[in-house]
Amino acid sequence: MLSREDNELLTRVGPGTPAGELFRRFWHPVTTSARLGGPDGPQLRVRVLGENLIVFRDTNGDVGVLQAFCPHRRANLFWGRNEEGGLRCAYHGWKFDVSGQCIDMPTEPPASNYKEKLKAIGYPAVDKGGFIWAYLGPREQMPPLPAYEWMDLPDTHRVNTSMLNECNYLQGLEGDVDTAHVSYLHLYFDPEKGPQPPQFHENYRQYVIQDKSPKLTVKQTPYGFLYGGRRTLEDGSYYWRLTPWVAPSASQLPTTEKYGHAKINVPIDDYNHMPFSVMWSREGALGSNSQSDYRRKKASAPVVPFKLNTGHVIDHTREASNLDNDFLLDRSKQTSKFVGVGGGTGAEDRCVTESMGPILDRSEEHLGVSDIAIVAMRRALLRMIRDLRNGVEPALPHNSEAFHVRGMDIISQHADFEQLLAEHADYLLLSSAGARQE
């Protein structure tokens, strides 16, 4: 349970809000590199932390992220022409480079130097690791990019996707640190027949059925916390799923050695968020399997104008199963799957998180011991939000190596969390700056 006041503090992310200011101290993906396309390609409308933005790639391949409305008379730069080193507004032809600087003002007298003094509001932007990243915070606090394990991989080794979620970011994020739900929401009654996610242990579906009440441990780290869920198997060994939660809104999902899977939940506004995912191979090019093929198809789906529940239009696909059609629920499918919605695990997650309402009122919930990671995450976020409100800047964004951490999905004889960590310290990158105990 959370007081209404704390719930408001955690969930409101627009400009000037305490949580919004905390998020603005970090770099965030705003779209995928593939979706933006090549130089002088079509610009995209995105919305991040309650701001409407235009993302474009100029003639040189540099990326720009500008506030959507032209500083002249506020036409949306979505209508502009992206050509010859900048974005030219459709209304009167004023043109802006990737930094937002006005570089042409054809309707003003030729002798005027007004253009040199005019700058559209633009944010630092970088194309890396398959995402376009933007930093929306104060320039004097701008940190380096986070050093995620997958950031320097070539395009062949990973696939980057995003999936619109029509609810507050915290509802999605809480699902990411809730291992107990995989024994129900994502349950296949016959694990042999259900698709096996290749990045998890090959008997993952059987293991989460064998013990539906995982024992949880949370270890505080400089990046947030490492969270372990232990399930006891029939032969007395343990199935462990270890998930680093990386403040403010990312997680490295538990996977086997061959693949990695990371998720970053970026708030669109108070009532929507965009989880960005990257799945990668640690053994060279990412080949063909059910997950990578599915993700590649998602990654190349054409963008369409979509009107959010807040009335703003973004260029992004909406999932075929969504709130308006009860996520294509088919109860006849409940003989094989627990819920029976259409569209896989993403739809299963969204059907519960989005239908809670755009912002869940947490003053009415009743938490159990299986929710300790959720409680730890809220506390950590609230502490960072309050600290910043009191003038204490977060240290994490400036410690880019802290983001270099891994999740793990493994069978072990260790019942003890610390012993498990000690045995797998190298794999988990615990010796890096990322996982030193605070």
Neighbour count for residue 438 (Cβ, 10 Å):
7
How many C-beta atoms surround the C-beta of residue 372 within 10 A? 15
CB of 95 to ligand FES, least distance (A): 8
Residue 349 binding partner per list Fe ion, ligand FES, none, with a CB distance cut-off of 5 to 8 Å that depends on partner kind: Fe ion
Selection from Fe ion, ligand FES, none that 94 binds (CB < 5 to 8 A by kind) is ligand FES
307 binds, among Fe ion, ligand FES, none (CB under 5 to 8 A by kind): none
131 binds, among ligand FES, Fe ion, none (CB under 5 to 8 A by kind): none
The stretches of 156-264 forming alpha helices (DSSP H) are 169-176, 204-210
For the bound state, the minimum distance from the C-beta of residue 75 to ligand FES, rounded and expressed in Å, comes to: 4
User: Among residues 158 and 263, whose Cβ is nearest to Fe ion?
Assistant: 263
410: Cα separation from own chain's centroid: 24
Q: How far is the CB of 48 from ligand FES (least distance, A)?
A: 22
Binding site residues, Fe ion, CB under 5 A? 349
User: Which is nearer to Fe ion, 180 or 408 (by Cβ)?
Assistant: 180
Minimal CB distance residue for Fe ion: 349
Q: Of 40 and 349, which CB lies nearer to Fe ion in the complex structure?
A: 349
We find the least distance from the C-beta atom of residue 56 to ligand FES, in angstroms, to be 15
Sheet with 44-48: strands ordered across: 44-48, 51-57, 63-67, 122-123
Going by the DSSP 8-state scheme, the letter that residue 350 receives in this structure is H
Largest Cα–Cα separation, the chain: 83
The residue among 181 and 282 lying less far from Fe ion, judged by its C-beta, is: 181
Cα 83–Cα 88–Cα 93 angle in degrees, nearest 5: 130
Contact 239, 252 (CB under 8 A): no
76/206 with CB nearer Fe ion? 206
Query: What is the closest distance, in whole angstroms, from the C-beta atom of residue 105 to ligand FES in the complex?
Result: 8
Catalog residues that contact ligand FES under the rule CB under 6 A. Answer: 70, 72-73, 75, 89, 91-92, 94
264 in Cβ contact with 249 (< 8 Å):
yes
Contacting residues for 297 by C-beta, under 8 A, at least 6 apart? none
**Closest approach of Fe ion to the CB of residue 248, in Å:** 20
Phi, psi of 421 (to 5 degrees): -65, -40
Partner interacting with residue 347 (select from Fe ion, ligand FES, none; CB below 5-8 Å by kind):
none
Q: Determine the Cα angle at 174 with ends 172 and 176, to 5°.
A: 75
From the list Fe ion, ligand FES, none, which binds 73 (C-beta under 5 to 8 Å, kind-based)? ligand FES
Pick 2 or 68: Cβ nearer ligand FES = 68
Q: What are phi and psi of 436, to 5 degrees?
A: -65, 140
Q: How far apart are CA 127 and CA 57, in angstroms?
A: 10
Helix axes 169-176, 372-389, angle to 10 degrees: 130
Per partner kind, with CB cut-offs from 5 to 8 A, the member of Fe ion, ligand FES, none near residue 68 is none
Nearest distance in Å: CB 87, ligand FES: 10
- Between residues 270 and 349, which has the closer beta carbon with respect to Fe ion? 349
| Residue (51 or 349) nearer to Fe ion, CB | 349
In the complex, minimum distance from the CB of residue 51 to ligand FES, in angstroms, rounded to a whole number: 18
Binding partner of residue 4 among ligand FES, Fe ion, none, CB cut-off 5 to 8 Å per kind: none
- Between 45 and 205, name the residue whose CB sits nearer to ligand FES: 45
Q: How far apart are CA 19 and CA 210, in angstroms?
A: 39
Backbone phi, psi, residue 81, to 5°: -105, 125
Contact partner, 34, from Fe ion, ligand FES, none, Cβ < 5-8 Å per class: none
DSSP 392-421: ---SGGG-GGGG----EEEEES--SHHHHH
User: Which residue is it, tokens 């200011």?
Assistant: 21
Decide whether 90 or 382 has the Cβ nearer to ligand FES.
Answer: 90
DSSP state letter for 435: G
Q: Is 22 helix (H, G, I), strand (E, B) or coil?
A: helix
Classify residue 360 as left (phi > 0), alpha (psi -120 to 50) or beta: beta
Contact of residue 329 among Fe ion, ligand FES, none (CB under 5-8 Å per partner type): none
In whole angstroms, the minimum distance from the beta carbon of 70 to ligand FES comes to: 3
Minimum CB–partner distance for residue 84 and ligand FES (Å)? 16
Report the C-alpha gap between 225 and 217 in whole angstroms: 10
